[in-house]
Chains A and B, each alone.
Chain A
Amino acid sequence: MLVRIAGPGLAITYLSLLVLLPIAAVLSKAFSGGLGALWSAVSQPEAVAALKLTLLCSLGVAAFNSVAGLVIAWMLVRDEFPGKRIVGAIIDLPFALPTVVAGLTLLSLYGPDSPFGVDVAGTPFGILLALAFVTLPFSVRSVQPVLVELDREAEEAAASLGATSAVTLRRIVLPSIAPAMLAGAGLAFARAVGEFGSVVLISGNLPFKTQVASSWIFSLSQSDDLSAAAAVSILLVAIALAVLVGIGLVRRRFNVDESI
């Protein structure tokens, strides 16, 4: 009986000290100056520019990577070639690699010392590259299991009835994998809006040009403007949570449709 009460109590205490109380403190700090102060913190020109850049880059990368993820997942599921298992493992490298190292790897190849002569450091392209790197596993791993389950007979039937590859893709394949692609894009987007470590080295953090929202929060906290940092944080967290809840709904809806 003691364990029944003490167990959850200890778990909740640990969780509270590390996560719940701190998050409550962010909420309280963000609203401490009233709604007016909150609004002025998120409508500051630097904040607006950073949020706009973050959302646009995240959206662009989520969209691009859902197509790239589909192509890569397709190859991993339908194709056979030597070394395929290694390629499969490489997909997860961005999860295992520390974000700062990811940023440095991209900087070493696409920065000022680029052997290709491609220098995207300090430009929005650098941000896109970093976000593409860290979110690629979400895009591939979301569609891959669905492709494995996909009914190949329907594709063969379509082909035998004279459908071209493009028609088969559009009419048969895409409708079945669309929810998974959407979920993958959502996860990639949610990850991208909060990303910091991989972006910080390659973006150059130029206000109004290449400063993302997380980086703006960081610089606010460095200059001890904690309430403004909390206000922008709340907005960022709200966006990510809304997308994640949306994915949950898409998944549930999809499962219901399937059972009918």
Chain B
Amino acid sequence: MTTRWRWPIRVAALGYLGLLIVIPVGSVFYRAFEHGLGAAWDAISTPDAVHALLLTLLVVLIAVPANTIFGVGTALILARHRFRGAWLLDALVDIPLAISPVVVGLALILVYGKAGWFGNLLAGWGIQVIFSVPGIVMASAAVSLPYVVREVLPVLQEIGDEQEQAAATLGAGPLATFRRITLPSIRHGLAYGVTLTTARVLGEFGAVVIVSGAIEGRTQTLTLFIQDSVDNLNPVGAYAGSVILALIALVVLAILGRNTEGKERRWQSTSDQFQSDSEKPLLSTT
């Protein structure tokens, strides 16, 4: 393409990015602080806001480790063991990426809600899942379930199991082999997957709003607090809450950018599952 197209392309591309992403995100920061730092601080230090923040952190602290254990375990099973139906497990892991978060939330209500499949059983045990914290944790874990598997599995397939077998031959137990051999070689993929999981859990809205009942001061996460603040004409609260999440998103981008230096980015969620082997990125050797 001749150089005469360079400027029109630059203007179109940067203009679109500016109007769609950069200026809107910038304006949230401006709006949060336009009445001063004090106003922003007051808006997010109300009891409801603090509760929402703490609940969000609690959900992250449960859902992210659970998905990390599931993700590494499933990736190991898929990469190292041959068993019938492995392809099916591989495909089913991706389901949450293909369906609307609202549908994920509705699906959980139909199993764990009062009129759901396990409704009577759970009521008998005195456990409330839906409209309560366990439901929020489950919804967040469900939507973010594929990320660790999808980041760790390709790395495990790429490195093969020769070193692991050598370790086993030399007398190392499975745990020692995992800690000394497997974990160091998957650590970049794992860090990437955990970062994506955390970002998704922190920011999930659709799946959580439907199972939470959004009870202020009880089942309201930070994203629900933001929406509630918009609805109740508390814009400073909404913008200040958004600034917290936007700052976290920028940190996530920085981490991901550093980890993918020089290799193809592959966290376009749904796109991963249909990539052929030739399109998969080279593994990051350590």
Residues in chain A within 8 A of chain B (CB atoms): 3-4, 7-8, 10-12, 14-15, 17-23, 25-26, 28-29, 68, 71-72, 74-75, 78-79, 81, 85, 87, 89-101, 104-110, 115, 129, 132-133, 136-138, 141-142, 145, 155, 159, 165, 168-169, 183, 187, 190-191, 193-197, 200-201, 213-215, 217-218, 221, 226, 229-230, 233, 236-237, 240-241, 244, 247-248, 251-252, 255
Contacts and interface: CB of A to CB of B under 8 A. Distances in A.
Contacts of B6: 79
A137 B271 CA distance: 11
A4 B76 CA distance: 11
Interface string B109-132: 111000111000000000000000
Contacts of B21: 90, 93-94, 133, 136
A72 B174 contact: no
B271 A142 contact: yes
B16 A197 contact: no
Contacts of A137: 268
Contact of A230 (B23, B110, B257): B110
Contacts of A136: 20-21
B65 to A, nearest CB: 13
B209 A218 contact: yes
| A-B pairs with lowest CB-CB distance, top 3 | A98-B203, A194-B100, A22-B107
B81 A105 contact: no
A80 to B, nearest CB: 10
B106 A26 contact: yes
A87 B1 contact: no
Interface stretch (B41-49, B181-189, B241-249): B241-249
A20 B92 contact: yes
Contacts of A196: 100-102, 205-206
28 contacts: A11-B70, A15-B74, A15-B145, A19-B107, A71-B13, A79-B6, A87-B17, A92-B267, A97-B246, A98-B245, A98-B249, A99-B205, A101-B223, A101-B249, A104-B242, A108-B24, A110-B24, A155-B1, A165-B5, A187-B270, A190-B270, A194-B99, A196-B100, A214-B101, A217-B102, A226-B106, A226-B109, A237-B99
A7 to B, nearest CB: 5
Given A15-B92, A145-B279, A201 B199 contact: no
Interface of B: 1-2, 4-6, 9-10, 12-14, 16-17, 20-25, 27-28, 31, 66, 70, 73-74, 76-77, 81, 83, 89, 92-93, 95-96, 98-111, 115-117, 138, 141-142, 145, 174, 199, 202-206, 209-210, 223, 226-227, 230, 238-239, 242, 245-246, 249-250, 252-254, 256-257, 264-265, 267-271, 273-276, 278-279
Contact of A251 (B93, B108, B257, B274): B274
A96 B199 contact: yes
Given A97-B245, A136-B20, A196-B206, 10 more contacts: A22-B111, A90-B22, A98-B245, A99-B205, A106-B24, A108-B31, A165-B5, A187-B268, A195-B100, A197-B101
